[in-house]
Amino acid sequence: MTKKWIKAAAIRAARTVAQTMIATIGTTALISEVNWPVVLSASAMAGILSLLTSVVTGLPEVDDGEPNGKHFGEDEE
């Protein structure tokens, strides 16, 4: 894993966390009704799953010739 890959994976995971937080908060009618432990745990899990997915499938935006820079199952050149 290169520095570029780590940065791209971190950005992707942060976006996933933010989207999950917004979606989870958006399911409540009032901000005072938000179940914050559920929001935080779901968001953290989404971030972890995003990182694991990046490890397994690679990141299309980072194609530096390393195996994790390609999609899972693609042939090496």
From CA 57, how far away is CA 52, in angstroms rounded?
A: 9
pTM over 0.85: no
Q: What is the pLDDT of residues 29-60, one digit of tens each?
A: 777 888 999 999 999 999 999 999 999 988 88
Closest CA to 45 of 26, 21, 9: 21
Closest CA to 48 of 19, 1, 10, 5: 10
Tell me 11's DSSP state.
H
- For residues 37-65, one letter each, b for 16 or more C-beta atoms within 10 angstroms of the residue's C-beta and e for the rest, the string is eebeebbeebbeebbebbeeebbeebeee
Comparing 24-28, 48-52, 60-64, which segment has the lowest mean pLDDT? 60-64
